[in-house]
Chains A and B, each alone.
Chain A
Amino acid sequence: MENLAGLSVVSLREMYRKRAVRPVEVVTAYLERIERINPTIKAFLHVFAKDALSQARALEKEDPEGRPLYGIPVAVKDNICTRGLPTTCASKILEHYRPPYDATVVDRLHDAGAVIMGKTNMDEFAMGSSTENSAFEITKNPWNEDYAPGGSSGGSAAAVAGGIAPAALGSDTGGSIRQPASLCGVVGLKGTYGRVSRYGLVAFASSLDQIGPITRDVMDCAIVMGVISGRDPFDATSIPEPAPDLTADIKKGLRGLRIAIPRDLDTWELEDSVRDAAVGTVDILKDEGAETERVDLPGMETSIACYYILANAEASSNLARYDGVKYGLRARSDSLIEMYEQTRGEGFGEEVKRRILLGTYVLSAGYYDAYYSKAQQVKALICDGFEKIFTRFDLIVLPTSPTPAFQIGEKIDDPIAMYLSDIFTTPANIAGLPAISIPAGVSPEGLPIGMQLIAGAGREATLLRGALGLEKVYRFREQFSPDIEKR
């Protein structure tokens, strides 16, 4: 088979439609490419070669009709349960864990005919913005191997950017899909809270977590999102209404969209290349006939603090179950308390421990009101602020991250600096809004820059329409690609 690296979901679908390729052929070619490229970029933690091939073989006997992802290889973040197959969350504490069930999104991928190629690296339990907090390996940014891919879904973003998977799933709690998508020059979408089932997503912060697609372009993103969206009776927080048709109006363009531009865009501490991309985007929007207006964005000063209180509080509770009693790592010891302490002491990495401690603290008697309660009030204010904006606007546009990719090791010893890289992504999680990152250009160092769109609750279709409109003007794919694609 020809070089697969540049193939999108749409082009693969077209090849299947023309019967130019068969699933076994495609899957074999991707497995070969993974074998060749993954040792360099380390996007995958586990490759399910045997299972992928047998799935592909089974698909060959089936009708592609009604299967939107027929024969499409998909990489899945390692915090999404795959029955009988490793699901480690990149943590030593789950190193040998095999869940007895598939996540709802995995079921839906299978039903749509997708082939799950393996599980991708991430920051341990999705806690981090660089994928350096993995207990197992350091993922490289396919655009430059000295740089981090971002995180926590860094493995999924790097797999798509490196052309070893046409599509991937990530999870986004404070930007963990959009930020690595931005840093790796791919598209990443987080839907409205509740749009995609969380059943089978190993919880980090339950009120913020959402699974979403990472793809090469906006159309692919809409296709994968369409497959995984929709009500799930196993997730009480899933949106009861049926998911909207994401492709019907996607090509309507930017004309007529009312788009809010952050008033402080020019004064924010942004790297120049990011500011240039943002300013350029404002011009594009005007040229394309969108109505733009400057507004004050809610939560720009408060969302990081609010996010790290709420997310860590929930995390401290969600991660309590890893105690050595039932599954995962168990440290040998003589007493129950010692077993708890040693198992968790050995099993969790630094960042996870830091967040469990912070989360435990903010929920403790005497501190709850000052931290957790206060953060809930701030959250309500941020939600109100966005709601007001979306009575007048269809979309907000802003950078995904204040900088392009940073070097591996650059921020790992400075947690606050790392946390601040989430400044533009956390508000959408706090308000439960759909948001997407799309590649807009590259920095002078040749690193991708992502722009972010946020839409009102339930408005994924508008979000994707805006994203496709911008993508057409950015012409990113046509102009830029990492060298590794040619390998």
Chain B
Amino acid sequence: MNDIRFEPVIGLEVHAQLLTESKIYCSCSTTFGAEPNTQVCPVCLGLPGALPVLNHEAVSMAIMMGLASHCRISPQSVFARKNYFYPDCPKNYQISMYDRPLCEDGYIELEMKGTTRRIGIERVHLEDDAGKLIHDESGSSLVDFNRCGVPLIEIVSKPDIRAPEEAGSYLTRLRQIVRYLGICDGNMEEGSLRCDVNISLRPEGSRKLGTKTEIKNLNSFKAVEMGIRFEIERQVAVLREGGTIAQVTNLWDENQKCLVMMRTKEYAHDYRYFPEPDLLPLSVDEAWINEVRGSIPELPLERERRFQADYGLSHYDAAVLCAEKGVADYYEAVVRGAGDPKVSSNWVMRDVLEQLKASGITIENFPVPPEELGELLKLVLGGVVSGTAGRNVFKEMVKSGEGAGVVVKRLGLQQISESGELERWIEEVLSENSKEVERYRAGKKQLFGFFVGQVMKKSSGRANPKLTGDMLKKRLED
């Protein structure tokens, strides 16, 4: 038994909160963080007699996700009630989709270790979010219904994932896609992107699926990978001892970083799905699909490939630049100004991304517009300012928000190529360092860089390094 190797079979169910202005079945606001129970109405509170009316913006967003994941969009899909009792669900049923979802049978492509993997998408469907329970110290519970009715799409993968890392990169890709589409902010900590996992094991080479277990409450990328790893280890241990896997639902405990069993199959819900009689079947025609298709931007994978092909970037550089749509857009705007994709990628990856990381702001709020960075790089590439001076200019631009030209002028950082000025600094350096000059002339040629550095220092980085080098060589060789 102990020598059998097991293959994990993993599927992900991801819930993404859509960035619509109003809720899915009423016109209440979806803004996050308002005072409890202030963004509610008879419909989202499920008051007697209130009826849902479908928000078409939410449908468009779900179609967008369907198209981005190569799904078939159903011409007619059906909302269904999922019945279960829980205090955060005011009607005690959720309006979801069941046997006729909006989008079906697609895939998402991953690139891992140089190979491309397709993870199948079973379905993408629409549903409403539940409220939030708040447990106070006295042991009683309060309910905030603000989140109730916020539109969700559920993206269900096929059981095509084979490793925790693969689940991680699938989720990363998914998050990237919803953010590119602008339909979800992808914030796992705030719960706008949530992930449940199904896992089973089977002996390597076997086609038969084992009994699957579920993990819920995975609210970070780290939790997803750790949770899967722990569950695989647990199942392997059970199977190695000759045991059988029970069909259970586990909860990820973020504080203890461990799995807690929530319920066994005997207590599994019978959701008693049936078609929602308050909503008509949802009809989506070609015109609607085409309209949505037209609004889909270039997606991360295509863009990575284009960056490699058009800009000659490495796979790694392209992936880093394309991770966020905003950064990729920024990079391309810099290239347009500067003209050199490689130099542009160095600057964006090193200087811009570092600044973002250090300051915790997003690219959208970054004080240096890409056109200005492009302008600066043009000055550097054209020899108007040196590379070193350019970095100082950039820091100043970040601080003051001023344009490249303005900062260069203000700091007097234009590169100095005038021979009179350079000659004066060279003479000073040579007379101040007579010992080194002797050693250089005695054959210690490595000191050349030292002299250049000293001249640069005297010029506060403004001396044209090429010209300085030429003149120094001539003077020293005399």
Chain A residues near B92 (CB-CB < 8 A): 320-321, 323
- Cα–Cα distance between A368 and B47 once the two chains are bound (Å): 28
Asked whether, in the complex, the Cβ of B277 is within 8 Å of the Cβ of A207, the reply is: yes
Complex contacts, B51 vs chain A, CB 8 Å: 198-199, 234-237
Interface bits B42-79 vs A (CB < 8 Å: 1, else 0): 10011111111110000000000000000000000000
A403 nearest CB across to chain B (Å): 31
Q: Judging by beta carbons under 8 Å apart, are A81 and B83 in contact?
A: no
Q: Does B326 contact A (CB under 8 A)?
A: no
The listed residue (A101, A320, A325, A336) touching B42 by CB distance below 8 A is A101
Interchain nearest-CB distance for A206 vs B (Å): 4
Output the least CB separation between A359 and chain B (Å). 9
Q: Is A298 an interface residue, CB under 8 A from the partner?
A: no
Q: Once the chains bind, are B278 and A237 in contact (CB under 8 Å)?
A: yes
Report whether B42 and A100 are in contact in the complex, using a CB–CB cutoff of 8 Å: yes
Of A87, A203, A233, A360, the residue contacting B272 (CB under 8 A) is A360
CB distance from A337 to the nearest CB of B (A): 9
Check A247 for interface membership: any CB of B closer than 8 A: no
* Complex contacts, A364 vs chain B, CB 8 Å: 270, 272
Check A236 against B277 for contact (C-beta < 8 Å): no
CB of A34 within 8 Å of the partner chain: no
- Smallest Cβ distance from A171 to chain B, in angstroms? 11
Q: Residue A320 contacts which of B93, B143, B273 (CB distance < 8 angstroms)? A: B93
Pair B90/A237 contact, Cβ less than 8 Å? no
Q: Is the CB of B48 within 8 A of A236?
A: no
The reply to whether B53 and A233 form a contact with Cβ atoms under 8 Å apart is yes
Does B100 lie at the interface of the complex (its beta carbon under 8 Å from any beta carbon of A)? no
A325-B143 CB under 8 A given contacts A89-B48, A234-B53, A236-B279? yes
B24 to chain A, nearest CB (A): 12
**C-alpha spacing A363/B275, complex, angstroms:** 11
Q: How many of chain B's residues have a CB under 8 angstroms from any CB in A?
A: 28
Q: Which of under 10, 10 to 19, 20 to 34, or 35 or more describes the interface residues of A?
A: 35 or more
| Bound Cα distance from A79 to B48, whole angstroms | 9
Determine whether B280 belongs to the interface, using a CB cutoff of 8 Å to chain A.
Answer: yes
Q: In the assembly, what is the distance between CA of A233 and CA of B83, in Å? A: 26
The distance in angstroms between the C-alpha atoms of A80 and B53, with both chains bound, is 19
Contact with A along B245-273 (1 / 0, CB 8 A): 00000000000000000000000001011
A297 to B155, CA, bound (A): 47
**Are B83 and A320 in contact, CB atoms less than 8 angstroms apart?**
yes
Contact call A103/B49, Cβ cutoff below 8 A: yes
Say whether A200 faces chain B, with CB atoms less than 8 Å apart: yes
Which of chain A's residues 287-346 have a Cβ closer than 8 Å to chain B? 313-314, 316-317, 320-321, 323, 325-327, 336, 340
A325 to B47, CA, bound (A): 12
A416 within 8 A of B: no
Task: Report Cα–Cα, A301/B278, bound state, in Å.
Answer: 28
Q: How far is it, in angstroms, between the C-alpha of A87 and the C-alpha of B277 when the chains are bound?
A: 23
- Contact present for A340 and B85 (CB under 8 Å): yes
Q: CA of A87 to CA of B42 in the docked complex: distance in angstroms?
A: 14
Q: Which DSSP category, helix, strand, loop or mixed, fits chain A's interface?
A: loop
A238 to chain B, nearest CB (A): 9
Let me know if A87 and B278 touch, CB within 8 A.
no
Name A314's closest neighbour in chain B (CB-CB): B277
- Is the CB of A372 closer than 8 A to any CB of chain B? yes
* C-alpha spacing A207/B91, complex, angstroms: 17
A136 at the interface (CB under 8 A from B): no
Give which listed residue, B270, B274, B278, contacts A236 with CB less than 8 A.
B278
Closest-by-CB residue of B relative to A360 is: B272
Would you list which residues of chain B between 3 and 49 have a CB under 8 Å from chain A?
A: 42, 45-49
Closest to A328 in B: B48
Q: How far does the Cβ of B99 sit from chain A's closest Cβ, in whole Å?
A: 11
Residue contact B47 to A237, C-beta cutoff 8 Å: no
Cβ proximity bits A77-111 to B, threshold 8 Å, 1 near / 0 not: 00111000001010000100101110100000000
> Which of A173-203 touch B at CB < 8 Å?
198-203
> Could you tell me if B49 and A99 are in contact, using CB atoms closer than 8 angstroms?
yes
How far is B92's CA from A202's CA once the two chains are assembled, in angstroms? 15
B46 with A321: CB separation less than 8 A: yes
Q: Tell whether, in the assembled complex, residue B280 and residue A237 are in contact, meaning their CB atoms are under 8 Å apart.
A: yes
The reply to whether A321 and B48 form a contact with Cβ atoms under 8 Å apart is yes
B378 within 8 A of A: no
CB of B367 closer than 8 Å to a CB of A: no
Pick from A103, A198, A205, A320 the residue with the most CB of B within 10 Å: A320
- 1/0 contact string of B208-230 vs chain A (CB within 8 Å): 00000000000000000000000
B53 touches A236 (CB 8 A): yes
Q: Is A1 an interface residue (CB 8 A)?
A: no
B83 to chain A, nearest CB (A): 5
B412 at the interface (CB under 8 A from A): no
Indicate if B203 sits at the interface (CB-CB under 8 A): no
Contacts of A368 in B (CB 8 A): 272, 274
Is A365 on the interface with B (CB-CB < 8 A)?
A: yes
Q: Which of A203, A237, A340 is B48 in contact with, Cβ under 8 Å?
A: A203
A317, B93: Cβ atoms under 8 Å? yes
Chain B residues lying within 8 Å of A201, measured Cβ to Cβ, are 49
**Known interface pairs A236-B279, A323-B85, A340-B85. Does A203 touch B49 (Cβ–Cβ under 8 Å)?**
yes
Whether the Cβ atoms of B83 and A363 lie closer than 8 Å is yes
CB distance from B14 to the nearest CB of A (A): 25
Chain A CB within 8 A of B87 CB: yes
B81 at the interface (CB under 8 A from A): yes
Determine the distance from Cα of A326 to Cα of B131 in the docked complex, in whole angstroms: 12
Known: A207-B277, A237-B278, A313-B274. A94 touches B42 (CB 8 A): no
CB distance from A96 to the nearest CB of B (A): 13
Q: How far is the CA of A237 from the CA of B79 in the complex (A)?
A: 13
CA distance A360 to B93 in the complex (A): 13
Give Cα A199 to B45, complex, Å.
14
Give complex CA distance A219, B415 in Å.
96
What does the 1/0 interface line of B403-431 toward A look like (CB < 8 Å)? 00000000000000000000000000000
With A206-B278, A363-B274 as known contacts, state yes or no: A99 contacts B47, CB within 8 Å. yes
A79 and B52 CA atoms in complex are apart in Å by 18
Q: Which residues of B contact A89 (CB under 8 A)?
A: 48
Task: Tell me the complex Cα distance, A70–B192, Å.
Answer: 52
- Specify which chain B residues have a CB less than 8 angstroms from the CB of A360 in the assembled complex: 272
List A contacts of B53 (CB < 8 A). Answer: 233-236
Residues 191-238 (chain A) with a chain B CB within 8 angstroms = 198-203, 205-207, 233-237
- Distance from A317 Cβ to chain B, minimum over Cβ atoms (Å): 5
Q: Contacts A101-B42, A237-B280, A363-B83 given; indicate if A372 touches B90 (C-beta within 8 A).
A: no
CB distance from B133 to the nearest CB of A (A): 10
With contact pairs A199-B51, A206-B277, A206-B278 given, residues A317 and B85 touching in the complex (Cβ less than 8 Å):
no
Q: Is B48 touching A99 in the complex (CB atoms < 8 A)?
A: yes
Q: Which residue on chain B has the smallest CB distance to residue A89?
A: B48
Least CB distance, A270 to chain B, in whole angstroms: 33
Q: Are A317 and B83 in contact (CB under 8 A)?
A: yes
Q: Which residue of B lies closest to A322 (CB)?
A: B48
B residues with CB within 8 A of A? 42, 45-54, 81, 83, 85, 87, 90-93, 143, 270, 272-274, 277-280
Q: Would you list the 3 A-B pairs with minimal beta carbon distance, nearest first?
A: A320-B92, A207-B277, A363-B272
Known pairs A99-B49, A325-B90; list 5 more (Cβ under 8 Å): A101-B50, A201-B49, A236-B54, A236-B279, A317-B274
Residues of A whose CB lies within 8 Å of any CB of B are 79-81, 87, 89, 94, 97, 99-101, 103, 198-203, 205-207, 233-237, 313-314, 316-317, 320-321, 323, 325-327, 336, 340, 360, 363-365, 368, 372
11 contacts between A and B (CB under 8 A): A97-B48, A101-B47, A202-B48, A207-B277, A234-B53, A236-B53, A236-B54, A321-B90, A321-B92, A325-B87, A326-B46
